């Protein structure tokens, strides 16, 4: 039987506060990332129809998909630095509104050149959202809950890809409004919600616990003190000092390893519709969307289980390494079983579990390694360098792919994933302390 006291009261406040934060913060943050990822990857389904209309080959498609990341990389670190100064509410709203407008405008491109320009502008508009959300998580969740919070956030990726698959395929088959091609409506209908979310963010998302109307003063004070206790005091720093974190060996190591993983993640996101179509050329776009959603459903379940186990054990590194190798095995299976639909989908599901499931333990690991003053720039630097994998992966797959065999390009991400696993094996990471439950 528990004896009432300050410890019991603090525990009660903690449970109540974390529950409120999860219910009030995570849904909007998750929706932002769902539509962000959907608008980034919807070109994969648009290509099923757009390719023939605009004369886009597999190699050209790979470049158009990948060029997004060149602009994205350049603007990510500045974006997080601006967000740290102006506040999450204003900056995240700006990002959502501008990327939504650009996605809708992409529906009106009439040439490959215009498509490439639109993808570059989209990269500029979206830059900073994911590292900004990771930084935002550090304002609201302690280290012991952060992997699950990041897992819930990262769950937006498979949800976005599932919704993108289902709606993208359906739009291609059924939406031909106003004399426009169905691929144009993929961009328009999937981009417009981001603008509305951006406006909603501007009005309802609090910057910090002290600004949260849904928390009492006692709850916000408890949460802020718990967050502050995990970090050394944050001193005023110059711009030059903040940027110095980019040269930190741990940041570079984590970033390059994640770059290689991203080659597999974005290779799957952009080329999965074409791989599924290759299984049976008679599939309709709707059928491709339904089958293409299966690996992401499996990946979503895997993410939740993996994030929970990583938090329970406090272990991060070997979770990531195992999942990276599982993804490589899945891609290899997709090549070997390219003519066997069931086994190909099983293999693609393994790949999805690997490239999606690693996200929560990886980012919890990265946030743990960095100090509070390094977090804003460090997380953005890791993500922006890693985002180059989003360029090299799809571009290399597109170059190697042929009109009759897309899977031949998957050897490139397989090699990248193996290299990443080896790199991470040599990374020294302090193990987190796992809270023990006491009984009285």
In the chain, the percentage of residues whose pLDDT exceeds 70 is 91
Entry field: residues in the chain: 440
Which residue, chain included where needed, has tokens 């109540």? 16
Residue 2 has pLDDT above 70, yes or no: no
Provide DSSP, 7-66.
HHHHHHHHHHHHHHHHHHHHHHHHHHHHHHHHHHHTHHHHHHHHHHHHT--HHHHHHHHH
Q: Model confidence over 240-255: pLDDT tens digits? A: 655 666 778 888 899 9
Radius of gyration of the CA atoms of the chain, in A: 22
Pairwise CA distance, residues 118 & 120, whole Å: 5
Q: Model confidence over 408-421: pLDDT tens digits? A: 999 999 999 999 99
Contact by Cβ (8 Å): 291, 276: yes
Helix (H) or strand (E) holding 394: helix 388-400
- Residue 381 banded pLDDT, cuts 50, 70, 90: confident
- Higher-confidence position of 370 and 219: 219
pLDDT, residue 339, reads: 93
- CATH fold group of domain 20-233+242-425: Growth Hormone; Chain: A; (1.20.1250)
Output the six-digit token pair for 262: 């991203």
Contact by Cβ (8 Å): 110, 180: no
**Residue closest to 115 by CA, chosen among 182, 14, 43, 216:** 43
Mean pLDDT of 21-45: 95
Mean pLDDT of 282-291: 96
Residue 310 burial (10 A CB sphere; 0-12, 13-18, 19+): buried
Residue 319 has pLDDT above 90, yes or no: yes
**Residue closest to 272 by CA, chosen among 291, 287, 258, 286:** 291
Pairwise CA distance, residues 301 & 271, whole Å: 22
Residue 37 has pLDDT above 50, yes or no: yes
Contact by Cβ (8 Å): 388, 334: no
Q: Model confidence over 171-204: pLDDT tens digits? A: 999 999 999 999 999 999 999 999 999 999 999 9
Q: Where are the domains of the chain?
A: 20-233+242-425
Residue 375 has pLDDT above 70, yes or no: no
pTM: 0.84
């Amino acid at each position: 039987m528990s004896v009432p006291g300050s410890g019991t009261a603090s525990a009660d406040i903690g449970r109540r506060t974390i529950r409120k934060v999860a219910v009030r913060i995570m849904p909007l943050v998750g929706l932002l990332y769902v539509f962000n990822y959907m608008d980034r990857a919807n070109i994969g389904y648009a290509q099923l129809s757009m390719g023939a209309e605009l004369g886009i080959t597999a190699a050209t498609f790979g470049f158009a998909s990948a060029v997004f990341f060149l602009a994205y990389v350049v603007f990510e670190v500045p974006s997080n630095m601006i967000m740290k100064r102006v506040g999450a509410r204003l900056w995240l709203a700006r990002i959502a509104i501008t990327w939504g407008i650009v996605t809708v405008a992409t529906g009106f491109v009439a040439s490959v050149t215009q498509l490439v320009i639109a993808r570059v502008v989209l990269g500029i508009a979206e830059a900073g959202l994911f590292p900004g959300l990771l930084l935002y998580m550090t304002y609201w969740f302690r280290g012991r809950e952060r992997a699950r919070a990041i897992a819930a956030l990262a769950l937006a990726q498979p949800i976005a890809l599932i919704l993108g698959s289902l709606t993208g395929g359906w739009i291609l088959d059924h939406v031909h409004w106003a004399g426009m091609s169905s691929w144009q409506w993929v961009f328009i209908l999937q981009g417009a919600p981001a603008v509305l979310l951006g406006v909603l963010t501007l009005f309802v998302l609090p910057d910090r616990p002290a600004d949260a109307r849904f928390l009492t003063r006692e709850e916000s004070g408890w949460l802020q003190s718990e967050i502050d206790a995990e970090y050394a005091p944050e001193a005023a720093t110059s711009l030059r000092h903040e940027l110095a974190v980019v040269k930190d060996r741990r940041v570079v190591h984590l970033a390059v390893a994640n770059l290689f993983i991203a080659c597999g993640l974005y290779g799957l996101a952009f080329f999965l519709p074409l791989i599924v179509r290759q299984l049976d050329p008679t599939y309709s776009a709707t059928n491709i969307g339904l089958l293409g959603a299966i690996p992401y459903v499996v990946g979503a379940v895997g993410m939740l289980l993996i994030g929970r186990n990583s938090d329970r054990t406090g272990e991060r590194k070997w979770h990531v390494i195992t999942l990276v190798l599982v993804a490589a095995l899945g891609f290899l299976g997709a090549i070997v079983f390219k003519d066997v639909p069931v086994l190909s989908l099983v293999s693609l599901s393994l790949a999805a579990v690997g490239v999606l499931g690693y996200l929560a333990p990886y980012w919890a690991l990265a946030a743990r390694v960095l100090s509070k003053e390094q977090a804003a720039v460090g997380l953005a630097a890791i993500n922006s360098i890693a985002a180059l994998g989003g360029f090299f992966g799809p571009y290399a797959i597109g170059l190697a792919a042929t009109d009759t065999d897309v899977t031949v390009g998957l050897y490139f991400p397989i090699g990248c994933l193996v290299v990443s696993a080896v790199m991470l094996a040599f990374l020294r990471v302090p193990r987190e302390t796992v809270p023990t439950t006491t009984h009285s």
